[in-house]
């Protein structure tokens, strides 16, 4: 097979983006942006340029067509085509989803709950009793960008509301279905955003949702009453501070609508009784800068997780009758080794998400006894997620977990005894043999001496003489913890001798809030140096060499990619940057763009501060491209992406092309049909994954079908 490097030079001439100097000035600093013009999506020259880039990529990747087709076939063969989720109970029904062979999306269903036959949970619905709530394949109608934004069932179980999007943006339409007649109602509510669930009032006709402003920030809570014109939806709550966005949800007891207005550092919660949906929201505790809290109701008490007095959080309770701060009683104190997260409550117990010494899990709190029980996944190196458990009077909490080598399992834990039952272990992919692989955990040493965990998925016979190949993944932002998970697609790399490494760098939340804060704002460059330390560690320990090391990052992980490539391009053979946030300075100087104002607590506000301006300018990938040899880079963008605008990767590629002194390929692909998440279908998404894997394998000299 011919590789990209073997093509004649004349076949490698890429499109050239014209330079049109655009003057910029802030804080007395003046500079020009030669590719600012690419922001104008109404200019036909912009789309023509991006289409030329796509054509160039297609031509250069042409020799890898057979490999890409093989990769798609392999990944498709690993999909469990027919599968059913573990049903959850809500009232008299069990709700679940089914995957159908050959279909991209799930079919959402329900069947009757049979309390005298608990074994029926995982059995097919008796003939004639299954009700299809929604076939997402019908809703998608072939649209690659179709996104299902969640759904909610009315309290009487007669009406089904859901959010959907067809263009890849974060703006959704709310639709309704009468489950008794099967009719999809004609009324459509436009302008809902992804954040926040759809929440019904107890009257069964009023539904709450969040609406976006001109920057798509979730800033309003509105209520729509079925039968009324959607345009007449009432404004329930409005957040005027542009750093904050709002989310909504109901407490498990269904007593309250919870409106949470939050920035990255501060939250404030307001409540509306769901049996009195016309009441005005009542603030639980007035906001204080830097103080975050979340709450749940258990019996006649509120339980709260807050960072007040403890960076990783502590837990309080206070009675319904007195929410004043001086009435709070501490239930669980702060602990440097424990980071508390979300909180939920049943009638008898409180469940608190947490990470303990970096391990994900949750605590079960018995308020009457004052005891706690720690629950986590069995074994080491797992992801764990709480699963939807909506029944307030339930005695069990659902959770799921998976590892690099074990597909996800769904389990439940008895709240009183702590007994864990595995409800379902997802089947392994056809032909999968875990003995062919091994998992390792190692630690890189950051420049300040901090140990940075690295999880590795490797072939069982992976060498340690530096001849191996590794794909190093990283994110490190927003306090999001990234743990090992089962990804059947990645075995197409590992089976070809390419190991996968996951770097748990600072800026993420793997070790709590302190881990996050060590990689944000004025400490952001720590994220980059942590990742570089991980790359150097893999080389020093003989896992790979610069000729065998590739990197991958998406979104904020794409910012990581751009910063690292500017600092240490010599460490990598190739890099994949997916919807990369690389034009950081320009984006953070433009408050009219989606997300910008809400990101001030993450990166800083360069318009308000010369210090912040200089700090961001010093690492912003686009602003720091220089004449140097860059490795092979594949960059992916979405035309309808309203989180990382298409022009960020486009401008970055154009500037690297102009300054790159090396000969490695630099490729850009813009998906004109999708947004930030790419194609949403489980089959249609495989083409994009295969493109990335083929690019990596080719650069590593392993591009054999």
Which residues are catalytically annotated? 555, 641, 676
First-to-final CA distance of the chain = 8
DSSP letter for 628, please.
B
Q: Which of 479, 504, 481, 474 is nearest to 601 (CA)?
A: 479
Q: How far apart are CA 506 and CA 681, in angstroms?
A: 32
Element of type H or E holding 77: helix 65-78
Neighbour tally for 319: CB within 10 Å: 13
Q: How far apart are CA 371 and CA 672, in angstroms?
A: 54
Nearest CA to 452 out of 394, 503, 380 is that of 503
Cα diameter, the chain: 78
Distances (CA, A) of 506 to 337, 382, 509, 605: 16, 19, 7, 21
> Which residues are 401's β-sheet partners?
384, 409
| Contacts made by residues 310-316, CB under 8 angstroms, sequence distance 24+ | 310/334, 310/335, 311/512, 311/513, 311/514, 311/517, 312/336, 312/338, 312/339, 312/340, 312/512, 312/513, 312/514, 313/339, 313/340, 313/341, 313/513, 314/340, 315/340, 315/343, 315/350, 315/352, 315/365
Residue 250's closest CA among 229, 266, 273?
Answer: 273
The token pair at 639 is 């035309």
DSSP label of 217: -
DSSP 15-68: P-PPP--EEEEETTEEEEETTGGGG-TTSHHHHHHHHHHHHHHHHHHGGGHHHH
Which residue in this structure is represented by tokens 């007395």?
A: 28
What is the four-CA torsion angle of 426, 106, 88, 83, rounded to 10 degrees? -30
In the beta sheet, which residues pair with residue 184? Answer: 177
Nearest 10 degrees: CA dihedral of 41, 46, 50, 51? 100
**What Å distances lie between residue 586 and 12, 583, 595, CA to CA?**
31, 6, 13
Q: Which of 356-382 are b and which e, b meaning 16 or more Cβ less than 10 Å from the residue's Cβ?
A: bebbbbbbbbebeeeebbebbbeeebb
Q: How far is the C-alpha of 443 from the C-alpha of 301, rounded, in Å?
A: 43
Which of 188, 175, 238 minimizes the C-alpha distance to 212? 238
Residues making up the chain, counted from first to last: 705
584 three-class SS: helix
Rounded-to-integer distance, Cα 376 and Cα 395, Å = 18
For the record, the structure tokens of 449 come out as 């001496």
Q: In sequence order, which residues have a C-beta less than 8 Å from that of residue 510 and are 6 or more positions away?
A: 355, 358, 453, 481, 482, 483, 504
**CA Rg value for the chain:** 26
Neighbours of 335 (CB within 10 A): 15
């Amino acid at each position: 097979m011919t590789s990209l490097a073997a093509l004649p030079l004349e076949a490698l001439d890429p499109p050239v983006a014209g330079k049109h100097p655009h003057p910029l000035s802030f804080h007395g600093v003046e500079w020009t942006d030669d590719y600012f013009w690419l922001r104008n999506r109404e200019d036909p020259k912009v789309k023509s340029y991006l289409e030329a880039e796509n054509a160039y990529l297609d031509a250069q990747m042409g020799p890898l067509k057979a490999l890409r087709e093989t990769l798609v076939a392999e990944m498709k063969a690993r999909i469990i085509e027919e599968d059913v989720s573990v049903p959850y109970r809500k009232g008299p029904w069990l709700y679940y989803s089914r995957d159908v062979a050959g279909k991209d999306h799930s079919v959402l269903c329900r069947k009757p709950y049979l309390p005298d036959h608990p074994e029926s949970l995982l059995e097919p619905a008796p003939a004639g009793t299954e009700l299809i709530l929604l076939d997402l394949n019908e809703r998608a109608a072939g649209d690659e960008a179709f996104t299902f934004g969640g759904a909610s069932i009315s309290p009487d179980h007669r009406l089904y509301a859901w959010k959907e999007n067809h263009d890849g943006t974060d703006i959704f339409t709310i639709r309704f279905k009468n489950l008794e007649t099967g009719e999809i109602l004609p009324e459509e509510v436009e302008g809902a955003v992804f954040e926040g669930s759809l929440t019904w009032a107890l009257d069964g006709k009023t539904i709450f949702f969040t609406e976006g402003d001109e920057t798509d920030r979730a800033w309003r809570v509105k209520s729509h009453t079925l039968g009324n014109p959607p345009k007449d939806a009432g404004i329930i709550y409005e957040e005027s501070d542009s750093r904050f966005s709002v989310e909504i949800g109901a407490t498990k007891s269904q007593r309250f609508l919870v409106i949470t207005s939050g920035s990255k550092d501060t939250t404030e919660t307001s409540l509306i009784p769901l049996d009195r949906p016309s009441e005005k929201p009542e603030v639980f505790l007035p906001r204080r800068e830097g103080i975050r809290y979340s709450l749940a109701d258990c019996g006649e008490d509120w339980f709260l997780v807050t960072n007040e007095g403890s960076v990783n959080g502590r837990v309080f309770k206070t009675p319904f009758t007195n929410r004043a701060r001086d009435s709070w009683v501490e239930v669980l104190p702060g602990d440097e080794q424990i980071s508390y997260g979300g909180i939920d409550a049943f009638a008898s117990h409180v469940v608190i998400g947490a990470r303990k010494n970096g391990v994900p899990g949750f605590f079960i709190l018995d308020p009457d006894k004052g005891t706690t029980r720690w629950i986590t996944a069995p074994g080491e190196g797992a992801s764990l997620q709480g699963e939807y458990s909506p029944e307030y009077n339930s005695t069990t909490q659902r959770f799921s977990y998976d590892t690099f080598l074990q597909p996800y399992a769904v389990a439940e834990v008895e709240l009183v005894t702590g007994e864990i039952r595995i409800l379902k272990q997802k089947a392994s992919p056809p032909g999968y043999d875990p003995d062919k692989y091994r998992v390792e955990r190692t630690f890189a040493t950051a420049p300040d001496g901090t140990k940075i965990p690295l999880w590795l998925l490797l072939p069982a016979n992976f060498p340690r003489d530096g001849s191996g190949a590794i794909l190093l993944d990283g994110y490190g932002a927003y306090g999001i913890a990234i743990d090992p998970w089962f990804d059947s697609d990645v075995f197409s790399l590992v089976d070809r001798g390419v190991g996968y490494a996951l770097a748990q760098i600072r800026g993420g939340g793997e070790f709590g809030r302190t881990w996050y804060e060590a990689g944000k704002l004025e400490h952001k460059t720590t994220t980059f140096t942590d990742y570089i330390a991980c790359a150097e560690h893999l080389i020093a320990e003989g896992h790979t060499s610069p000729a065998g090391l590739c990197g991958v990052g998406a979104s904020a992980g794409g910012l990581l990619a751009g910063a690292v490539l500017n600092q240490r391009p010599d460490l990598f053979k190739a890099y994949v940057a997916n919807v990369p946030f690389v034009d950081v300075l320009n984006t953070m100087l433009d408050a009219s763009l989606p997300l910008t104002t809400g990101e001030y607590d993450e990166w800083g506000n360069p318009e308000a501060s010369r210090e912040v301006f200089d700090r961001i300018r010093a690492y912003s990938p686009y602003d720091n491209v220089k004449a140097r040899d860059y490795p092979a880079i594949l960059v992916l963008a979405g035309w309808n992406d309203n989180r990382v605008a298409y022009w960020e990767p486009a401008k970055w590629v154009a500037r690297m092309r102009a300054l790159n002194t090396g000969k490695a390929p630099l490729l850009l692909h813009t998906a004109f049909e999708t947004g930030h998440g790419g194609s949403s279908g489980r089959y249609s998404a495989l083409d994009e994954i295969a493109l990335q894997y083929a690019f990596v394998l080719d650069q590593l000299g392993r591009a054999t079908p």
